[in-house]
Amino acid sequence: MNKPLKEDYIRYRINLARETFEAAKLLAEKGHWISVINRLYYVCFYAISALLFKDGINAHTHSGVKRQFSKYYIVTGKIDRALGKVYATIFDLRHKGDYGDFFDLDEEQTVKFFEPVERLLQEIESLLKK
């Protein structure tokens, strides 16, 4: 992919992450907690996908994105380990919410993820500028 297209793709993914973060806030106002976790997960997924793409790291599945992110950014200390744990937790909750039966979340279990997800997004945006 040539450079302008690469930059366009990265910008698109980050804009999508930001828009999805706003959607999560709207869903929280209505108390749709499983949908909030889904959207917060996708905030992370879109931003991490942009970062992996920028650095030429391939991942073809959600689990692959998680693995590569951990290997190249969490283990190396480029991104705070605590934020890696938040992503892993949201990854699991999103999966349970989307595919599990009789799984539910409440406000207390969910809203605590807004701040660290936003922080992760900011850290990724910072790395993308380097």
Determine the number of helices (DSSP H) and then strands (DSSP E) in the chain: 6, 0
Query: In the structure encoding, which two tokens stand for residue 21, read together?
Result: 């973060």
Q: What is the pLDDT of residue 130?
A: 85
Tens of pLDDT, residue by residue over 71-114, are 999 999 999 999 999 999 999 999 999 999 999 999 999 999 99
Rounded-to-integer distance, Cα 124 and Cα 128, Å: 6
Predicted TM-score (pTM) of this structure = 0.95
Tens of pLDDT, residue by residue over 23-53, are 999 999 999 999 999 999 999 999 999 999 9
Determine contact, residues 119/90, Cβ cutoff 8 Å.
Answer: no
CA angle 15, 19, 24 (to 5 degrees): 145
Domain holding 37: CATH number?
1.20.120.330
Instruction: Give the three-class secondary structure for 55.
Output: coil
Rounded-to-integer distance, Cα 103 and Cα 75, Å: 31
Count how many domains the chain has. 1
DSSP, res 94: H
Domain range for 121:
3-129
Q: What is the pLDDT of residue 4?
A: 72
Regarding predicted confidence, which is higher, 4 or 110? 110
Instruction: Give the three-class secondary structure for 19.
Output: helix
